[in-house]
Amino acid sequence: MLQDAGAAAATSVALDDVELDQQKGGEKITTGKAFGKLPLLSESFMKLRKKNISSDIHALFTLNKAPSQSALRKTLTNLIETFPLFSSRPHFQSGLLGFWDFLRPSFLRRNRWKYNEDDVMNHVKRAEIEDGKENIEDYISKCMMDEMPERGGLWEVHVVQAASCCYMVWRISHAIGDGVILTKALLALCEEVTAPTKKSSAKKRKKKRINPFSVAFDGAKSVLKLSALPNMPGDAKTPVRVSSGKQLTCQKMFRFSNALSLAEAKAAAKRRCCTINDIITAAVSEAISKYCAEEGKAPRNMRMLTVTNLRALSAKKLENEVAKFKLGMGSNAFSYFFLRIPTGDDISLEKRLAICKARLNKLKASPEALVLLKMNESLRSLFGLRFVVNFNKFALSKITGYFSNLPGPSHQLSIAGEPIIGMCNAVVPSMFGIGVSILSYNGSIVISLSSEASVVKNPRRLIELSEIAFKKLIAVDS
């Protein structure tokens, strides 16, 4: 439903060849061409960035050796030629009309993407580190603290050479796109090393009959619930939550787990009549509970912002989304809901799994995420972008962290001629003390943790506890 509405709106935006000149500090910036209006989410991420609240997506590819200069140039050239947003930067309306943006109807707003003519190799950074997992973790932690120059574009790729392998670290602003579409964009640059696993033929599910009265009732409940966001009480103070009113330092910490078996997780999910996401959520809840108990006291529950994709994930419809992204449209199509995870230290792991499953199922069936997106779009039209950004920032300050789960390719790929032997991802936790990202690749699952150094004192311990809980849940005799 959202995809159809977004497609209709996107196709109505024709490519605009109007030249946009801009003066800044007496220096003339290279003239580019505007080719599409900035969507709400992209505008919001750029406004947050101007307030030093970063939301860059980081992806880590582990390679056997560094790709050659010519192969890397060819790959990155293919990237910007295929997906024009990678050769663009946002242009915001300045002057009096920019300040009184909320007085102008949406069709008069001129915040647009603008072509940024630049050599692709200017986006490449090179570094050398010593062998060891902790060294690449520290390198990415440092990357999370550095701001990308807006004038040079909204993405970077770091080629980090170690003695036994090479790491490719992608840094991409969330303004360009969300995790689903960026994964498709990066995978479009890759070649297959092993053949994709054949999926077993599944029975076609019968379409459920939609009761319009039920949909209207659920929508009304979601509106009432979301309208109460400003009065929502904040989570209790814990060793993983930013204290109310505390100024965050810019010191970020990144840690990731060892590769966990996807096949064993699938088998365990089948035995327990749940999903892999239920198992991972329960494992992370158990880890946070144990960590809080070790550092102080674990609350009964805490809320996590859980990112949900609003696109149809069928292969055909997802390809249509990628086609729109190639035209500079449909870059962000996600929303979020607040998931209460059970973190009481008196809850058994089995009960924790059952609670996570029930709460996730309830939220998946609810239109809350879609209603929230539409509500933000309405507020944007009525009161302007600044109001929407501040409203969401205030609401998100009351919760503990975020949680995202992204399915990756089931087989091995190569990029710039080099096989990818490992993959994980993370998002900078700018407003939270903790952020958990899950990515599956080539039969394995990796749990990544990004945290605020002044809040989470021992992120490595959290990763260890997550691995222990995950292995307990997938054990055959459990």
Domains of the chain: 214-312+327-403+433-474 (3.30.559.30)
User: Using the 8-state DSSP alphabet, how is residue 171 labeled?
Assistant: E
Highest-pLDDT range among 155-164, 178-187, 294-303, 420-429: 155-164
Tokens in use for 410? 């089931």
DSSP 391-456: HHHHHHTTS-EEEEEE---SS-EEETTEEEEEEEEEE--SSSSEEEEEEEETTEEEEEEEEETTT-
The whole-angstrom separation of Cα 278 and Cα 274 is: 6
Element at 96 (helix H, strand E):
helix 95-99
The rounded distance, in Å, linking the Cα atoms of 115 and 89 is: 6
Strand partners, 19: 33
Exposure b/e, 101-121, CB count within 10 A at least 16 = b = bbeeeeeebbbbbbbbeeebe
Of the candidates 127, 131, 138, the one whose C-alpha atom is nearest the C-alpha of residue 163 is: 131
Q: How many angstroms from the chain centroid is the CA of residue 465?
A: 23
Least Cα distance to 455 among 296, 305, 336, 307 occurs for 296
d(CA 164, CA 40): 44
Angle, helices 179-187 vs 315-326, to 10°: value is 80
- The answer to whether 115 and 32 are in contact (CB under 8 A) is yes
What's the whole-number mean pLDDT along residues 2-25?
33
Measure the CA–CA gap between 52 and 180, rounded to whole angstroms: 25
- Residue range 140-151: average pLDDT? 79
Q: Is the separation of the CB atoms in 305 and 341 below 8 Å?
A: no
CA 146 centroid distance within chain: 18
Give DSSP secondary structure letters for 325-361: HHTT-----EEEEEEEEE--TTS-HHHHHHHHHHHHH
In single-letter form, the type of residue at position 380 comes to R
Mean local confidence (pLDDT), 127-155: 85
pLDDT of 228 higher than 90: no
Residue 330 confidence (pLDDT): 57
User: Using 50, 70 and 90 to split pLDDT, how confident is the model at 83?
Assistant: confident
What is the reported pTM? 0.80
pLDDT tens, position by position, 305-344: 888 877 655 555 666 666 666 666 656 667 788 899 999 8
Q: Strand 155-161 relative to strand 124-128: parallel, antiparallel, unpaired?
A: parallel
pLDDT digits (tens, 9 = 90+) for 361-418: 988 888 877 777 788 778 777 777 778 778 888 888 888 998 988 888 888 999 999 9
Mean predicted lDDT score pLDDT of the chain: 77
Which pLDDT does position 182 carry in this prediction? 83
- 62 near 422, Cβ under 8 Å? yes
pLDDT at 39: 65
Q: Give CA–CA dist 58/142, Å, rounded.
A: 12
Burial classification of residue 166, based on how many CB atoms lie within 10 Å of its CB (0-12 exposed, 13-18 middle, 19 or more buried):
middle
**Position 468 pLDDT exceeds 90:** yes
User: Residue 5 and residue 305: Cα distance in Å, rounded?
Assistant: 25
Residue closest to 32 by CA, chosen among 83, 97, 91, 93 = 91
Find where tokens 């920019």 sit: 98
**Would the pLDDT of 65 be above 90?**
yes
Read off the pLDDT band of 63 (50, 70, 90): very high
DSSP bridge pairs for 340: 303
Q: Return the top range by mean pLDDT from 49-58, 175-184, 258-267.
A: 258-267
**Does 390 or 436 have the greater pLDDT score?**
436
DSSP 268-325: HHHHHTS-HHHHHHHHHHHHHHHHHHHHS---SEEEEEEEEE-S--SHHHHHHHHHHH
